[in-house]
Each structure stands twice: as C-alpha cells, then as structure tokens.
DNA sequence: AGCAATTAAGTTATAATATAACAGAATAGC
DNA sequence: GCTATTCTGTTATATTATAACTTAATTGCT
C-alpha cells in the first residue's frame, strides 16, 4: 500500500477498495455518517487518477440518481475533508484522496504537470523545516499548504525520448 | 529593508516607495513596459497590508479613471507575476508584492489568519528539504507552492490577553 | 515625421469555482 | 412513535478568472 501514484504496476483498484474500506471503518469508529453520497464522492475521487474538480464529479452523481447541484458535492467534500479522507489542492482547485486518513496531518503533494498524477509525501521533513523558519520569526504554524509541481519519473523519461 | 509584515514599527510607506522604485528599474533593465495601470496595480497591492484579491483592486482603478473590468486587472497581475513583482497566494486567491523581485525564486509565505499580515520567507531551506524528498522518488521539481497559515507574534499576544 | 508592426487597453460576454438560504426528507436517540 | 438533529434537494447568487474581439497606444523602421 501507500504506493506513489506514478509508480507503474500499482493496482489502483486495490487502492480504491482499500481506501473505501478504511473510510467506512474510520467513520464507524468516529460515529460519523458515511452516507451513500459521501461514499460515492470518495470513490469517484479515488477512481480519478488525478486531482478532480468538484464540478467534474457532478455528472457521475447524476448518473447514480442523486441530485447533482453544486451544494451536494461541496457538502460531501466538506465532510470528507473534515474526516481527513480527502485533501484539497489549492493550486488546482481540485481534490485527491488521502492515503492515510487515520492520523491527522497536513499534505505535501507532488503533482506532475504532464500526466497530473499526484502523490502525497510524508510532510514531516518539510514541516520540521517550516517549523524552524517560523519559530525564528515567532510565527505559530497552524496549517501548511505544500504543493509541488514538476515532472514525475515516467514523464521525465517521455520528455527526452519522443519529441 | 525586507521587514516582515508583522514586525511593528516598520515604515510601510517606505516599503511601497522602494518596491515601486525597484520595479521601475527592473522593468527598465528588462525593457518591459511598466505602464500606468501596471504601476498602479502594483502600488495598490503594496498599499494593502495583506494579500488582496483581484476584484478588490477594481474600484481603485475606476477611481483613477481607468477601465475597471476584470480583464484589465488580471492582465496587469499577469504581467507583474511574470516579472516576479507580485506573487499569487493560491490558498487565498489573492496577491502580494514580492520584496525581492530581482532574483527569480519561489515564495514561502507565512499568513496570519487573524490580521492577515503575510510575510515572505527565504524559501531556501524548504526548497532543499523538498528537493531531497522529491529526488528520493525521482520527481523533478519545477514549481513550489508553500503557504503556511497560523498566528503572527502580535496576534499570539492578543489571543491570550484580551478575550 | 510617416507608416507598419507590435503591444496594451477597452469592452462584452461567459466560464469555472464556490456558497447562501431555506424547504423537505431521513435518521438517531429517547 | 415523537422530537431533535442531521442530511439532502433546490433555487439563486457570489466570487474568481478567462475568451474573444475591438480600439488605442507605442515601438521601430525608413
């Protein structure tokens, strides 16, 4: 588990299934209601191989027979974010599933500008660095947005090869 | 110079004047046209003590006798960003002046959730950390969005003191 | 200075993202 | 079963950003 999105050979269906399983369990433990809409939105986000926008989710919601007005999806997204099940990528106005929602944490994302694969890294090292810089000026960190764009290994290979 | 926004006693008018001076010089050197609209937008951004949204700039443009439709301000912002004179804060959809536009760099921002003061730190340490994490997974960094929210020293003092 | 080419600004329209506010339905806890 | 709470449906609208085309200004050339 915890594969990086751009690692080839990763069984994405397995990721999805596992993420949903874990979400159900977490919500059970926390006595939170993972309603059909919320679960569907989470599934759709995981099914996307890249961060997905709120409005891109609406058609699938409609197909599944739900109301598909914006508030529906935003409310589901809000819940999922509160539970740490998805992260919002501010630089893309889009959402990704969180691979380890059990522990509270901030994300640190590597986003490929070409294939849009997005991987969440351990934010620990960056956090430590930020914490040190912030302390030096007396700033108390509460939240960190760390979003890195560039080229994933696969797309680097492609760039030089076939242009 | 290069004061942090939340440091008390900093002469903001001086910041503004200096930023404009530097912008004029840079554009001259680069043979870029810092037109009246562009300069005004830059000035307005610097005059704001916090990141300011594009639409917040429009009234002042109108007052100054310019067209004040969105494209006007977005075009000015685009130019200023290209020249490194302002940064966009993705997590706020807002813009801040860059205190050292002469060298190309990515920003690393500390944003106070209470007074909204925003300071740009040296992104070097965070960059080094990110670079190391990215290299470990073969990712080639091109751009970094690092935006930290929390409480500046002044507002920390206020929190406990007078509630 | 006069002219063509380029760049910037004006203008209208609309796309994309997100939320407010209230009504109705479902669920949980008693 | 009843009531309080939470969730969803629905309509409307706010906020942020860009497309596309027109007009004006500036630059560079001769």
Alpha helices in B53-163 (DSSP H): 54-63, 70-82, 124-136, 153-161
**pLDDT reported for residue A160:** 64
Per DSSP, chain A holds a count of helices (H) and strands (E) of 6, 5
Residue A2 pLDDT exceeds 60:
no
Residues A110/B139, Cβ–Cβ less than 8 Å = yes
Of B49, B55, B85, B51, the residue nearest B70 (C-alpha): B55
Interface test with B, best of A10, A99, A135, A139 (most B CBs within 10 A): A139
Q: Mapping DSSP to helix (H, G, I), strand (E, B) and coil, where does residue A97 land? A: strand
Q: What is the pLDDT of residues A59-110, one digit of tens each?
A: 999 999 999 899 999 999 999 999 999 999 999 999 999 999 988 788 899 9
Percent of chain B beyond pLDDT 70? 93
Q: Are A16 and A6 in contact (CB under 8 A)?
A: no
pLDDT at B121: 95
Contacts of A145 in chain B (CB under 8 A): 90-91, 145-149
With cut-offs at 50, 70 and 90, classify the pLDDT of residue B19: very high
pLDDT given for residue A106 in this prediction:
83
User: For residue B17, is pLDDT > 80?
Assistant: yes
Q: Which residues of B touch A142 (CB under 8 A)?
A: 113, 149-151
Rounded to a whole number of angstroms, the distance from the CA of A76 to the nearest CA of chain B is 20
Q: Who among A121, A126, A156 is closest to B140 (CB)?
A: A156
Contacts of B150 in chain A (CB under 8 A): 134, 139-143
Taken as a whole, chain A contains a residue count of 163
Prediction pTM value: 0.92
Strand C within 7 A of A139 CB: no
What residues of B are in the A interface, CB distance below 8 Å? 4, 6, 90-91, 108, 110, 112-113, 119, 121-122, 125-126, 128-130, 132-134, 137-153, 156
Q: Which of B107, B93, B82 is nearest to B26 (CA)?
A: B82
Interval B27-34 mean pLDDT: 96
Q: What is the mean pLDDT of chain A?
A: 92
Give the pLDDT band (50/70/90) at residue A8. low
> Chain B closest CA to A109's CA: distance in Å?
10
- The CA distance from B114 to the nearest CA of chain A, in Å, is 12
What pLDDT is attached to residue A82? 96
Q: Does the pLDDT of residue A52 top 60, yes or no?
A: yes
**pLDDT band at A43; cut points 50, 70, 90:** very high
Instruction: State which residue of chain A sits closest to B118, comparing Cα positions.
Output: A139
Higher pLDDT, B1 or A131: A131
What mean pLDDT do residues B43-72 have? 96
Q: Which of B112, B141, B152 sits opposite A150 (nearest CB)?
A: B141
Chain A partners of B4 at a C-beta cutoff of 8 Å?
137
Taking CA–CA distances from B91, the nearest residue in chain A reads: A90
What pLDDT does residue A54 have? Answer: 98
Q: Which nucleotides of D are covered by protein (CB under 7 A)?
A: 6-13, 15-20, 26-28
Q: Cβ contacts of residue A53 below 8 Å, gap of 6+?
A: A92, A93, A94, A95
Option in B137, B142, B152 nearest A139 (CB)? B152
Residues B83-98, mean pLDDT to the nearest whole number: 97
In this prediction, residue A18 carries a pLDDT of 95
B80 close to B72: Cβ distance less than 8 angstroms: no
Q: Which residue has the higher pLDDT, A123 or B6?
A: A123
Torsion angle in degrees (nearest 10) through CA of B48, B50, B55, B59: -20
| Residue of A59, A159, A48 whose CA lies nearest to A114 | A159
Residue B12: pLDDT band (50, 70, 90) is confident
Closest CA to B126 of A146, A139, A137: A146
């Amino acid at each position: 588990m915890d594969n990086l999105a751009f690692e080839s050979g990763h069984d994405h269906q397995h990721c999805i299934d596992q993420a949903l399983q874990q979400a159900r369990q977490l919500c059970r433990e926390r006595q939170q209601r993972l309603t059909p809409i919320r679960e569907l939105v989470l599934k759709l986000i995981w099914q996307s191989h890249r961060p997905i926008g709120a409005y891109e989710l609406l058609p699938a919601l409609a197909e599944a027979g739900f109301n598909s007005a914006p508030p529906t999806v935003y409310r589901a997204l809000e819940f999922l974010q509160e539970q740490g099940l998805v992260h919002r990528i501010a630089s893309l106005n889009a959402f990704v599933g969180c691979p380890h929602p059990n522990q509270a944490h901030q994300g640190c994302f590597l986003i490929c500008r070409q294939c849009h694969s997005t991987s969440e890294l351990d934010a620990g090292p960056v956090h430590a660095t930020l914490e040190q810089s912030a302390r030096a000026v007396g700033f108390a960190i509460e939240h960190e947005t760390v979003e890195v764009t560039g080229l994933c290994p696969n797309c680097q290979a492609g760039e030089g090869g076939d242009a």
